Amino acid sequence: MRRFLLLAWVLAALAAGLAAQLADAAWVAHWLWRAAALPVALHVAVGLVRALLGGRLGVDAVALAAILGAIALDEAAAAAVIGLMVAGGEALEAWAEGRATSALTDLMARAPRHAARIEGDAIAEIDVAAIRPQDLLLVRPGETIPADGTLEDDAATLDDSALTGEALPVSLRRGAALRSGGVNAGPAFRLRATHDAAASTYAAILRLTQEAAAARAPLARLADQWALGFVIATGAMAGGAWVATGDPLRALAVLVVATPCPLILAAPVALMAGIGRAARRGIVVKGGGALERLARIRTVLFDKTGTLTPGHPRLAAIDADPVLGRDGALRLAAALAQGSTHPVSAALVAAAGARGIDVQLPQDVTEVAGGGVTGMVEGRSLMLGAEAFLHEAGIDPQDGFGLVAQVAAAAGSVAWLAVDGRAVAAFVMADGMRQEAPRAVRRLRALDIRRIALVTGDRAAAAQSIGRALRLDAVFAGQSPADKIAVVRVEASTAPTAMVGDGVNDAPALAAADVGIAMGAHGTAAAAQAGDVVLLVDRVDRVPEAIAIARRSRRVALQAIAIGMGMSVIAMAFAAAGLLAPLAGALLQEAIDVFAILYALTALRPARDDQAGGALSPEAGLDERRREHAGLRDLAEHLRSAGEAIGTATRAPDLAAIAARLRGELLPHQREEERALYPEAAARLGGQDPMAPLVRMHAEIEALAERVAVLLRLGAAPEGWHAAAPELRRTLFALEALLRLHLSVEEEMLAGLDAPPR
């Protein structure tokens, strides 16, 4: 506020002096202009003394010398304009910093201060500091969630745009975990607090925001160093012009146009603009120093679980006794898994639900930590767990399942099911890649990141499969936290290195890297505190976006400095040659300052290559099509099962049902994608016909589905099955492979066109 008051005083006095000059009251005008300049000189002198007491020469020395010199040489108008330049520069800096940090300011302004706690039949208004775990809170429409918790009602709609940068609201169901800071965009709902307000997500974000706003960037300090040299050069040029010509006005003109506002203002404004832009995209950068280091990164190291993978296992494949069948085995395993809290158990229950399999409640369930679970289902004694768990009960799970064990060694872990003392099924579990991970790695390559590696504590087989799929340069598996630090230090010795992780065991490595990037949406507090950059959105593709923003901000800062100071140096040369009077120089320098700061603010805008993409409209139906993918993957599993069951003398039992699903489920899904989803996605992705490969796959899938129908008709004729069976078997396998490939490719292509998954 003081800066704007000073500017108002200078403008008023300058205008009054101009009016007096036009009224032929020159002596009044001169005193008014002096009155405009002297408070600014006093303000600058105080700042200069503070800088000297801090052990450095303030760059405002040039401005102070220019004002005092103009008054001494009876150039009152020039003194007033210099005062306007200084006061206006500071006010413009304050406005620019406010503009650049508006996203951070919005986060602070939205911090909830009160909450409604449900106490029996009454509602009490309490301070957020009084919230305790297990409190039942009421969140009204438009209110900000005050603390982390779980949803106690059937549904809620949240607007997380201020936290994640995504404009589309998200719908959540009962039991969903809600983060503080989101805004209720629907009807009121009840929330069961899991943390107090101080330990919740939004409070941590505010602390990170305050750190980001308070930190001073190395580029700003470097600008101060350049400014010090510039002060010396300015004094030499001004003194030289005076000595050479004997005209003190030339020295004054040099001082006037030499005020290094572009140097001392442009760098911090551009960097704060970058921090503000990052915040709007759900990326909290802890200050300009972190932003500068991020801009220089050339090596990126990723953790695996929770970073490149979601961290939640999913069912990848089933091998079962033919008598029981895959669906029968999953029905029993999912029923028993209901009595366990292990992530593998949750994955089995979810897989059964996705396939529409009804499961009974288990009885006499006993869970052994780190081993497995036992119980009774449908009157049978079941065991579900690791290989060692079954071995302890005298059951050899490898008997008849050697192939699955070999597959699991390369692709994931295995949960074994034993019924009445005999192993009958093996469930291959895998922690699949995040949909956006391949795109993130390719974007990093496009940003000239020269080395990308995986550093994980997981076993080599699981890590190598991720490394191969993403085409990483190196994979370091089986790494302890101390090993991760050693890898980071080795990589950082050759190039600036960033480490990306989310867990407690990643925190030391994040702290050891040049830049630690923490997945803060669902990651641990330790990782968020150790990281220099915190991703509030649970998407790994924010990593290359953060680097791109940092590089653009640093580039804009350097360009603003170079342009502003280059123009000032040219003006100094003209002033030293007597071609620029002090008053004209002051007006010119004011224009240079404004231009340099406004140019620095262009760091708020996205780069040209960042403007493609964006969320699709609801009419495109992306969410609906994605939900249908679970059913199509189940269809692919049945295609494989049917192909395996076909013999020249026997028919697969569910071929008619599969043909019906192809007609009623798969083909309508593809037609709807081509009608509504693909045209809008193509417009977002840009380029020449980006959806052509997916449309071509659709055509091939339709051709194979038609072939299945034809072969089934041929096989229904007398003696026709023997001739049709081999070709039908091959067609089912081909259709299954193409369908799985198509689903994976489509999900990756469209990964950046929706709101982040929550």
Q: Which residues, including other chains, have CB under 8 Å from residue 439's CB and lie 6 or more apart? A: 541, 748, 751, 752
Query: Phi and psi (nearest 5°) for 426?
Result: -130, 130
Name residue, tokens 């496009």. Answer: 446
Number of other CB atoms surrounding residue 552 within 10 Å: 21
Give the residue among 508, 506, 502, 503 at the shortest CA–CA distance from 537: 502
* Catalytic site includes residue 420: no
Cα gap 197→180, rounded to integer Å: 8
Q: Answer for the pair 68, 87: CB distance below 8 angstroms, yes or no.
A: no
| Partners of residue 367 on adjacent β-strands | 373
**Pick from 229-238, 636-645, 728-737: least confident:** 229-238
Confidence of residue 492 (pLDDT cuts 50, 70, 90): very high
| Partners of residue 309 on adjacent β-strands | 305
**Pick from 63-72, 98-107, 287-296, 378-387: least confident:** 98-107
Percent of the residues in the chain that have a pLDDT greater than 70, as a whole number = 83
**Pick from 3-17, 535-549, 690-704: least confident:** 3-17
Q: What is the pLDDT of residues 562-578, one digit of tens each?
A: 888 888 888 888 988 88
C-alpha of 25 from chain center = 63
Q: Kindly name the residue from 60, 303, 319, 458 that is annotated as catalytic.
A: 303
Give the residue among 632, 655, 627, 619 at the shortest CA–CA distance from 732: 655
Query: What distances in angstroms separate CA 198 from CA 143, 507, 562, 609, 713, one per listed residue?
Result: 18, 21, 44, 39, 68
Q: What is the pLDDT of residue 309?
A: 84
pLDDT above 60: residue 162: no
| Partners of residue 114 on adjacent β-strands | 127
pLDDT above 60: residue 610: no
How many residues in total does the chain contain? 758
Q: What is the pLDDT of residue 755?
A: 47
pLDDT above 80: residue 45: yes
pLDDT above 50: residue 757: no
C-alpha of 244 from chain center = 59
Q: What is the pLDDT of residues 354-374, one digit of tens each?
A: 888 888 889 988 887 667 899
Q: What is the pLDDT of residue 399?
A: 63
Q: What is the pLDDT of residues 203-245, one digit of tens each?
A: 665 565 555 445 555 665 555 666 667 777 888 888 888 888 8
Q: Is the pTM of this model over 0.85?
A: no
Q: What is the pLDDT of residues 117-147, one digit of tens each?
A: 998 888 898 888 888 889 999 999 888 888 8
Q: What is the pLDDT of residue 56?
A: 63
Cα dihedral 169, 174, 180, 186 in deg (nearest 10): 40
Q: What is the pLDDT of residue 99?
A: 53
Top-confidence range, 56-60, 409-413, 670-674 = 670-674
Cα gap 527→509, rounded to integer Å: 9
Confidence of residue 412 (pLDDT cuts 50, 70, 90): low
With vertex at residue 391, the alpha carbon angle to CA 386 and CA 392, rounded to the nearest 5 degrees, is 100
Cα gap 178→194, rounded to integer Å: 10
Q: Answer for the pair 452, 419: CB distance below 8 angstroms, yes or no.
A: no
| Sign of CA pseudo-dihedral 433, 436, 438, 440 | negative
Percent of the residues in the chain that have a pLDDT greater than 90, as a whole number = 18
Mean pLDDT of the chain: 81
Q: What is the pLDDT of residue 288?
A: 78
Q: Which residues, including other chains, have CB under 8 Å from residue 671's CB and lie 6 or more apart? A: none
Cα separation of the two ends of the chain: 41
Q: What is the pLDDT of residue 419?
A: 92
pLDDT above 70: residue 107: no
Q: Which residues, including other chains, have CB under 8 Å from residue 561's CB and lie 6 or more apart? A: 223, 226, 262, 263, 266, 267, 596
Give the residue among 6, 526, 521 at the shortest CA–CA distance from 281: 521
**Pick from 309-323, 683-697, 733-747: least confident:** 309-323
DSSP per-residue letters across 662-698: IIIIIHHHHHHIIIIIHHHHHHHH-SS-TTHHHHHHH
Average pLDDT for 267-284: 82
CA atoms within 13 A on the CB side of 667: 15
Q: What is the pLDDT of residue 89?
A: 67
Q: What is the pLDDT of residues 288-328, one digit of tens each?
A: 788 889 999 999 999 887 788 887 778 877 888 888 888 89
| Partners of residue 416 on adjacent β-strands | 385, 426
Q: What is the pLDDT of residues 331-344, one digit of tens each?
A: 999 999 998 877 78
Query: What distances in angstroms separate CA 250 from CA 34, 241, 244, 587, one per listed residue?
Result: 20, 6, 10, 16
Q: What is the pLDDT of residue 670?
A: 93
pLDDT above 70: residue 403: no
Confidence of residue 756 (pLDDT cuts 50, 70, 90): very low
Q: What is the pLDDT of residue 508?
A: 78
Q: Answer for the pair 162, 106: CB distance below 8 angstroms, yes or no.
A: yes
CA atoms within 13 A on the CB side of 680: 17
Locate 352 and state its tokens: 């059964």
Cα gap 205→222, rounded to integer Å: 29
C-alpha of 299 from chain center = 18
C-alpha of 542 from chain center = 3
Q: What is the pLDDT of residues 417-457, one digit of tens each?
A: 999 988 888 888 877 788 788 888 988 998 889 999 999 87
Q: Residue 156, by phi and psi: left (phi above 0), alpha (psi -120 to 50) or beta?
A: beta
